[in-house]
Structure 1
Amino acid sequence: MFTGIVEDVGRVEELKPKTKEVLFAIGAKNIDVKEIKIGESISVNGACLTVISVKKNIFTVEASHETLRRTTLSKLKVGSKVNLERSLRLGDRLGGHIVNGHVDGIGKVESTGRRGKSLEFWFSIPEGHSKYIVEKGSIAIDGVSLTINAVNGGRFSVNIIPYTQEATIFSNLKPGDSVNIEFDIIGKYVEKFVMGKGGKKDFSELLEKF
């Protein structure tokens, strides 16, 4: 489990394609790679990956065919920058929100603009997922915990403050780019509960009662 607070921006140093998976060797600066243990989980652009080797300031993770199919990791190349976060430890502060590292789908940057010192991004999401986005709700984009500012159908906006611009890869994003999206797990569990209890197709039917 993660919190969506990026610890470091890493760099893909090497790609090793295998039969059904790809190995990514990633260099880190702020994370002490010597403390990383083989077998632990690390969020790479929001996808939970397992560390299979550690050497000096570089660690290697393995991405399965399923992960490559459902995320943007298949688009990474040598030199690509990635958001990194180690898994949450017992006693750590939950600085963002609960992020599992299980990407729900791939979103697209629709537009960007300046709002004072902040950047405003509008994203589109895969069809059928708009029920999971609510104004002032939480969402993880490329592993970054963010608050949704506005919703317009299958589109939503977020503001990226200067600190987040510098501490993540958001400053590199431009219209047309793809991003990993993970919706709030609490919302997904609520939907499961509601559908199980009343057989509702979506939240709107439930809300009509209030």
Structure 2
Amino acid sequence: MFTGIIETTGKIKAINQLGGDIELIIHAPDLDFSDVKLGDSIASNGICLTVVSVAKDMYSVDVSRETLSKSALKNWRVGDVINLEKAMLPTTRFGGHIVAGHVDGVGVIKHIAKDARSVYIEIEIPAELMHYTADKGSITVDGISLTTNMIKPEQNLVCLNIIPHTAERTNIAYHWTVGALVNIEVDLLARYLERLLHKKSGKNTAGNITEEMLNKAGFYL
């Protein structure tokens, strides 16, 4: 599990084809490797990837065809800058929200504008993920835990404001341009709530959660 608070960025050093899968070698000179061992998980642009080798300030991971098909990783190139976060410890300060590192879909950046010292960004996400979003809710974009300012359901848009600190500590300045693809993970709690309501009602409640439904299911407001 992760918190969505990015520790540092790394750079893709090599992409090696391995019988349909790929191996990534990531150069991360600012990542603390003192507690990294083989088999550990590191979120890379929000994708939970398993460390298979470590050497000084670099490490490698294997990427399956499933991950390639469900994320923006298939578009990564040597030299790309990516966001990195090691798996959380029980003693970690929980600064973001619960992030599994399991990408739900790929979003497209549609609009970027200055907003005082912040940057206003609109991201189009897959229509089937919109019902997991809410104004002032949490969403993970390229591994970054972010708060949605508002949503525009009719356009499948999530609207965000990026403060200077977040922009400086992540790959936003390198990668986030209009048309860029980003990894999206919706709020894990919203997914479980939907599943629980579906089980209680015996019907598919996706996209149709109302106050009346919550009360009937036992979630008294």
TM-score over 0.5 (shorter chain): yes
1:191 paired residue number: 194
SS of equivalent residue, structure 1 residue 174: coil
The residue that corresponds to 1:46 in the other structure is 46
Q: Which residue of 2 aligns with 1:164?
A: 166
Question: 1:91-130 maps to which residues of 2 (within 5 A)?
Answer: 91-130=91-130
TM-score (norm 1): 0.96
Report the secondary structure of 1:149's partner residue.
Answer: strand
C-alpha distance in structure 2 between counterparts of 1:37 and 1:53, whole Å? 8
Percentage of pairs with the same residue: 37
**Matched ranges for 1:139-150 at <5 A:** 139-150=139-150
Q: Partners in 1 of 2:35 and 2:27 — Cα distance?
A: 14
Aligned to 1:36: 36
Deviation string for 1:37-95 (max 9, x for gaps)? 11100000000000000111110011111001101111111100000000011211111
RMSD of aligned Cα (Å)? 1.3
Distance in 1 separating the partners of 2:130 and 2:97: 19
Which amino acid letter does the alignment assign opposite residue 113 of structure 2? G
Contact 2:21 2:63 in 1 (8 A): yes
Residues 99, 185 of structure 1: 8 Å contact kept: yes
* SS of equivalent residue, structure 1 residue 188: helix
Amino acid at match of 2:196: F
What is the number of residues matched between the two proteins?
210
Counterpart contact for 2:194–2:205, Cα < 8 Å: no
Unaligned runs of 5+ in 1: none
Which amino acid in structure 2 is aligned with residue 151 of structure 1?
Answer: I
Question: Is the partner of 2:52 in helix, strand or coil?
Answer: strand
Per the alignment, residue 184 of structure 2 pairs with 181
**Aligned amino acid, residue 169 of structure 1:** N
Q: Distance in 2 between matches of 1:202 and 1:73?
A: 28
C-alpha deviation, 1:34, in angstroms: 4.4
Measure how far apart 1:204 and its partner are: 3.0
Q: Give unmatched runs, 5+ long, in structure 2.
A: 216-221
Instruction: State how far apart, in whole Å, the 1-side matches of 2:205 and 2:39 are.
Output: 40
* Residues in 2 aligned to 1:43 and 1:120: alpha-carbon distance in whole angstroms: 25
Distance 2:18 2:11 in 1: 20
Task: Describe the SS at the equivalent of 1:113.
Answer: strand
